[in-house]
Structure 1
Amino acid sequence: MVCVMLVWLASLIGDGPMRARVRGWAHFHRLCCRWILGIGLRIEGEVPEGGVLVALRHESFFEAIDLPMLLRLPVPFPKAELMDIPGWGWAASHYGAVTVSREEGAKALRAMVSSARGFAAQGRPLAIFPEGTRVRSGVVAPLQSGFAGIYKLVNLPVVPVAVDSGRFYHRRWKKPGTVVMRFGARIETGLPREEIETRVQAAINALNPHYSAAEGAAAGG
């Protein structure tokens, strides 16, 4: 709540200070992880810039909190219920977010796509967790059906990101180690649903020891 209040106060000055405060919060989290919890971070691959769809594996709150440090002004896709959280929803809306309203039909989908395209046109990367929720380390989860639809409608290349934060950063416990975030090769637009889902799932599971070489090869990874 303190961080939300600081973001609100910064917003009275302008968008720049408000966004800097959000990034500062993510930076503070990194420092706490490194120097208090003993959890470091190693980034592999090329971090994308501009209007792309960044698809990250989601194992813990670590990558969600770290997004404003990882990417330049990322635009997340929070669920509608998260936007109802007092303070947080207001801050996310003013920072820039595409609200996912799964139960509100075609009108909500059109609004979501229009919002996403608008942010991408500003050169801001769109950051999505295609599995839809946190997945335990080592588990291979299917992608949510909405991911392929978003990919098709926003018509942006995808940069997949493999993450192994769940080995060290659990919601109930933490242990020292180094979280790896591995940016994969950019995937072009216009692919069929089955192909984009297969390629993204293979890429975001690149650090998953239980994702077999056979599965990766079948996925084109």
Structure 2
Amino acid sequence: MNLVRSLLFNLIFYPVTLLYVLAGLAVSLVGEAPMRAVVHGWSNFHFFLTRHLIGIEERFEGELPAGPLLFAVKHQSMYEAVATLRVFRTPIVVMKRQLSHMPFFGWLTQRYGVIGVDRDAGPTALRNLVAGGRAAAADRRQVVIFPEGTRVPVGEQPDLKPGFAALYRATGYPVVPVAIDAGLVWPRGLVKRPGVVTWRVGETIPPGLKRPEIEARVHAAINALER
């Protein structure tokens, strides 16, 4: 049954995603507000399907604060990559540069606001990340980063990538670490499972800390749900 539901999810979600992307690009010619509304509608549609078709529920431990903040989120699955647009407040998301340059989808992400990072670009990638962080701070937009750099299997706790500390300095924002265990229901591969996704909001960490301290505190907080 999980396989059937997962197949049905893909058959519905991806074609409808294309419609949302085309609609978002069209209304972006009118203004940012309607374009962002379409993007958020897509994330809400994703939540509707995961809840009613797959059977995934959510629970939150702690409240997400408002204001210009840097959210450091555990990354186990595609689930949180889409859900961040619904859970946070019009965030700028740090994402793989290749995704932000895809036809249509990538164009829409750029208009919405993303920081594209080429993982193989070394110092150039860090410079682009810093520039993107400063631009986001100038607009007082919330920023979301997956500080491990890529999806990791449940139970693994890799070191944070150096780009996180660079973005932390560039924005000058406090950091809110967020642990999520979506990999338990949404592992790599086709089959998704019903269950509960927990978001645990960590204590807000002030700006200005040295790299070893901020990385240690964030690493511990985003892995708080690991089993």
Normalising to structure 1: TM-score of the pair?
0.88
Tell me if the contact between 1:57 and 1:162 (Cα under 8 Å) persists in the aligned partners. yes
Q: Aligned residues, how many?
A: 209
Match of 1:179 among 197, 203, 207: 197
| Structure 2 Cα separation of the partners of residues 93 and 65 of structure 1 | 15
Code of the residue aligned with 2:204 in structure 1: it is R
Hey, what does 1:197 align to over in structure 2?
A: 215
Match of 1:41 among 43, 55, 58: 58
1:98 aligns with 2:98: no
1:77 aligns with 2:94: yes
- Structure 1 unmatched runs, 5+: 210-221
| Structure 2 Cα separation of the partners of residues 120 and 191 of structure 1 | 18
Hey, what does 2:173 align to over in structure 1?
A: 156
Tell me if the contact between 1:59 and 1:165 (Cα under 8 Å) persists in the aligned partners. yes
Displacement of 1:172 in angstroms is 2.0
| Structure 2 Cα separation of the partners of residues 175 and 146 of structure 1 | 32
Hey, what does 2:159 align to over in structure 1?
A: 142
Code of the residue aligned with 2:161 in structure 1: it is Q
Displacement of 1:161 in angstroms is 0.2
Secondary structure of 1:172's match?
coil
Match of 1:10 among 23, 27, 34: 27
Displacement of 1:23 in angstroms is 0.4
| Structure 2 Cα separation of the partners of residues 158 and 125 of structure 1 | 10
RMSD: 1.6
Alignment of structure 1 residues 96-135 onto 2, 5 Å = 96-104=113-121, 109-135=126-152
Displacement of 1:105 in angstroms is 5.9
Tell me if the contact between 2:126 and 2:166 (Cα under 8 Å) persists in the aligned partners. no
Deviations 1:64-119 (A, max 9, x none): 01111101101011122222211111101100011223555656644432332222
Of all paired residues, the percent bearing the same amino acid is: 44
More moved, 40-49 vs 176-185: 40-49
Deviations 1:158-217 (A, max 9, x none): 1000000000012421111110111111111121211111110100011111xxxxxxxx
More moved, 40-49 vs 109-118: 109-118
Deviations 1:20-49 (A, max 9, x none): 000000001111111110001112212122
- Structure 2 unmatched runs, 5+: 1-17
Hey, what does 1:214 align to over in structure 2?
A: none
